[in-house]
Amino acid sequence: MKVYFVRHGQTNGNKSEVHQDHSDDLDETGLQQAKKVAQRFANIKIDAILSSDYVRAVVTARAIGKVTKNEIETSELLRERRRPSTLVGKRYDDEEAIKVMKTMEENKHLSEWHYSDEENHQEALVRAQKFFKLLELRKEESILIVSHAAFMKFMLTYMIFGKDATVAQFEKIYDSFRVNNTGITICNYGEGLRGLYKKDVYWHIETWNDHSHLGELK
């Protein structure tokens, strides 16, 4: 199985560095990005498109589906990790937002801890695992998935470390891997050799965050 992971196009919240919820739509640049990334798949056979049900992801997925002639299947499992609702609409550099984020950072390795109504790191890892259990059962050969920057890194953590993935491992992934709006990551799931000789079925990453289609938009 080949899977193309695509981050949604740019929103006003992304551009102005504001904490978002499910309702943020693509801005004009984001709409252009969605059209550009859709053209990357014009000559690639896609058997299914799965998308987060957040507006910005669905709009991006529909732009791609229009080119590939696929219907969109939405899933709550592909949503971005939920931040505390008190942050929605606040800029990243807002004094109160910084205080909340600092408190969350100090407690991120406590699996049962919550600041308020957010999804913590451990819960997001469990959600990623749940999604992959379903994905790995699918019969399609080529699947395109539209999701969000942070949750793509939770999914990458699962692909590398499996069901034993930890928050500490996610933090390493989070710091080291960037995800541009409409960046494309290509992964394969199937039989191969682990190490030198052990044959196994597992995920491997071919390409991370290919955003070459955005060159003329910069």
Query: What confidence tens digit (pLDDT) does each residue in 99-122 have?
Result: 999 999 999 999 999 999 999 999
- The residue among 200, 78, 214, 210 whose CA lies nearest residue 151 is 78
- For a pLDDT cut of 90, what percent of the chain falls above it? 92
pTM: 0.94
Render 9-58 in DSSP notation, one character per residue: PPBHHHHHTB---TTPPB-HHHHHHHHHHHHTTTTS--SEEEEESSHHHH
Q: Which fold has domain 2-217?
A: Rossmann fold (3.40.50)
Domain ranges for the chain: 2-217
Examine the pLDDT at 217 and tell me if it is beyond 70: no
Examine the pLDDT at 218 and tell me if it is beyond 60: no
d(CA 5, CA 114): 29
Query: What confidence tens digit (pLDDT) does each residue in 15-31 have?
Result: 999 999 999 999 999 99
Query: What confidence tens digit (pLDDT) does each residue in 135-170 have?
Result: 999 999 999 999 999 999 999 999 999 999 999 999
**Side chain identity at 80, as an amino acid letter?**
E
**CB of 144 closer than 8 Å to CB of 34:** no
State the pLDDT at residue 215: 86
β-pair type (72-75, 48-52)? parallel
Taking all residues of the chain, what is their mean pLDDT, rounded to a whole number? 95
- The residue among 202, 191, 153 whose CA lies nearest residue 175 is 153
